Amino acid sequence: MSSIEGVKSIADADVSGKTVLVRADLNVPMEDGRVTDATRIERFAPTVTDLVERGAKVVILSHFGRPKGQRDKKFSLAPVADALAKVLGREVKFASDCVGELAEKAVWALSDGEVLMLENLRFHPGETENDENFARRLAVLGDLYVNDAFSVSHRAHASTYGITKFLPSYAGLSLMKELEALSAALDDPQRPTAALVGGAKVSTKIPVLENLMARMDQIIVGGGMANTFLLALGHDVGKSLAEPDFVDTARAVMDKARENNCEIVLPSDATCAKEFKAGAEAEVCALDGVPSDSMILDVGPQSIADLKMRLQDLKTLLWNGPLGAFEIEPFDTGTVEIARAAAALTKAGKLVTVAGGGDTVAALNAAGVTGDFTYVSTAGGAFLEWLEGKELPGVAALKQSDA
């Protein structure tokens, strides 16, 4: 089961004069050799600053793109080192390999408080293969290992998993923050607690629903996936995105949730259109009034009003997946209105809000509320696996590490 018990924070370790290998996820968006979105770098920077201020020699490990185990200039981390230097306001040295003589010399040349970034881990096939020898070659570079990359912790790679066998291993500040936020929403939430699960398809979120129903008081289902539930209840959803093959699954989810005393909340009306494009004419439909040539593209105004009422009584909200096809107006209405209501309650100290998922983050950004949520995870796959209740190898390895 996913939990954070047994994970040691680097905040509690003595790092002065030590060489600390920090695994970050600096796989940032880049165009023409320039970083176009520094969000990941900005989130990671405080970990580096803290280590520097405590007198450590900081050596940063990361992957970038998918060079498939071969050196490829296109995937060099050198521009990312420059971008990190700007955010930190201090020099970041760069070594053009992450293991071997080049890396070793660069590490040995470091003084306390200096920062070095090593070239893309994935230039070596041993990284994704979790090759023991490659992990050892990384480990010889440092005294301590820190994982500060939640978003790659669902992968058992040499730099997230294998290396912990050879070095005392800790969670970095941003990993710790992410684990604490997810744990606060999932392991021991203040109740009543609800998960809002939306997005396109039920089929991709069955393990999520099964794990959540054991932990949440309510699961609010929205987005395209709600359509399959509506089908299961005998509603005609017209041309909506739905998965008839998963109607039985939806029924089983509803039955099992009932056994778990978890209420499944479905939309009570819908916003429909005949086409999914900008300027399409949208109409509000009752659940048994969806025209056969129309699609449900968002929850309707009654559902939005009901959900806002519901939020008032909650203490914790965990959110993954938009309530509608938010990419095109006005089908972002449900997502935006509920996001703003949840953000306002969070700001007022009445609700803990934890959200994640690629499209969810985009939708919350568009609604302008990301900063008002308690925590927004930018990790895609790792966030979903955590919601599924899986133990992430990169987190598990930190607990087992007694090197």
What are the DSSP E strand ranges found in 308-400? Answer: 316-320, 352-356, 375-377
Spatial separation of the C-alpha atoms in residues 246 and 253, rounded to whole Å: 10
By the rule CB under 6 A, 238 interacts with ligand ADP: no
Q: Considering CB distances under 5 to 8 angstroms, the limit depending on partner class, which of ligand ADP, Mg ion, none binds residue 241? A: ligand ADP
**Closer residue to ligand ADP, CB minimum distance, 267 or 394:** 267
Residues 6+ apart with CB under 8 A from 320: 195, 196, 197, 198, 199, 205, 208, 355, 356, 357, 360, 383, 384, 387
Residue among 158, 177, 136, 147 nearest 24 (CA):
147
Q: Strand 218-221 and strand 263-265: pairing?
A: parallel
Residue spans of alpha helices (H) in 23-131: 39-53, 78-88, 100-108, 125-128
The minimum distance between CB 304 and ligand ADP, in angstroms, equals 14
Region of 158-166, 189-197, 256-264, 359-367 interacting with Mg ion (CB under 5 A):
359-367
Give me the residue whose beta carbon is nearest to Mg ion. Answer: 359
Active site residue 69: no
By the rule CB under 6 A, 267 interacts with ligand ADP: no
DSSP state of 387: H
Active site residue 201: yes
Active site residue 205: no
Size of the site for ligand ADP (CB under 6 A): 19
Q: Which of 25, 243, 332, 359 binds Mg ion (CB under 5 A)?
A: 359
By the rule CB under 6 A, 366 interacts with ligand ADP: no
**Closer residue to ligand ADP, CB minimum distance, 241 or 344:** 241
Look at phi and psi of residue 353 and say left if phi exceeds 0, alpha if psi is from -120 to 50, else beta: beta
Q: Exactly one of 55, 65, 113, 358 is catalytic; which is it?
A: 358
Q: What is the DSSP string of 116-142?
A: EEE--GGGSHHHHTT-HHHHHHHHTT-
Q: Exactly one of 71, 136, 201, 347 is catalytic; which is it?
A: 201
Q: How far is CA 333 from CA 122, 141, 147, 369, in A?
A: 41, 52, 38, 14
Spatial separation of the C-alpha atoms in residues 159 and 182, rounded to whole Å: 23
Q: Exactly one of 55, 289, 381, 389 is catalytic; which is it?
A: 381
Q: Which of 192, 358, 381, 389 binds Mg ion (CB under 5 A)?
A: 358
Active site residue 40: yes
Region of 117-125, 131-139, 157-165, 194-202 interacting with ligand ADP (CB under 6 A):
194-202
Spatial separation of the C-alpha atoms in residues 159 and 120, rounded to whole Å: 11
**Closer residue to Mg ion, CB minimum distance, 201 or 239:** 201
**Closer residue to ligand ADP, CB minimum distance, 48 or 387:** 387
**Closer residue to ligand ADP, CB minimum distance, 172 or 224:** 224
Which of the residues 270 through 299 are near ligand ADP (CB under 6 A)?
296-297
Spatial separation of the C-alpha atoms in residues 252 and 68, rounded to whole Å: 41
**Closer residue to Mg ion, CB minimum distance, 201 or 399:** 201
Look at phi and psi of residue 32 and say left if phi exceeds 0, alpha if psi is from -120 to 50, else beta: left
Binding mask 265-304 for Mg ion (x = CB under 5 A): ----------------------------------------
Which of the residues 306 through 365 are near ligand ADP (CB under 6 A)?
320-322, 324-327, 357-360
Spatial separation of the C-alpha atoms in residues 306 and 267, rounded to whole Å: 9
Binding site for ligand ADP (CB under 6 A): 198-200, 223-224, 241, 296-297, 320-322, 324-327, 357-360
**Could you list the active site residues?**
40, 201, 358, 381
